[in-house]
Amino acid sequence: MSPCLEGSNVYQLLDDKLRISYISAYLTTRNGTMTKEIKKKQKPTTILFIRHGENEWSKSNKLAGRTPGVHLNEYGKQQAEALGKRLAGAKIDVIYASPLERTMETAQAIAQHHNLQIRECPGIMEVDYGAW
C-alpha cells in the first residue's frame, strides 16, 4: 500500500503530504526599536497536475470514470511518452497517481526518466458516479 492516505482527497493530500513553504517578513521590537526581520524558509514546492493521455473512451467523448481496464490508446501512449521526455530534465521527487490503468501508464512514462516508483493513491482517483 502506498504512503497516500486511504480515502483522502487531493486537498488532504496536499495539506498533509506537501507542505508549501514561503518567506515571511515581520516586525519585532528590540530595545524599543522596530526592526524588519526576514525569516527564510524552504523554497516553495511545485506541484504538477497531469491528466492521463487519450484513451478510446475519451476519444469518443464517453466518461470512463472508475471503469476498470481503460488503457491508453496508441495516441495516448505517444502523448505520455512525449510528456515523459519533456519532463526528463525537471526535478521531480515523487509521483502520485490514481490506481486506474490509464493514469498509471501515463505516470510510468514520466517515472522511467527519473528512476522513481509511482505511489498509487486511491484518494486522487476519478469521481465514483455509481452504477448507471
pLDDT in tens, 99-119: 999 999 999 999 999 999 999
CA dist 107 → 2, 3, 114, 117 (Å): 15, 17, 11, 10
Task: Name the region of 129 (left: φ>0; alpha: ψ -120 to 50; beta: rest).
Answer: alpha
Region 114-131 average pLDDT = 88
The predicted pLDDT at position 74 comes to 97
pLDDT in tens, 48-95: 999 999 999 988 988 888 899 999 999 999 999 999 999 999 999 999
The predicted pLDDT at position 45 comes to 83
The predicted pLDDT at position 37 comes to 55
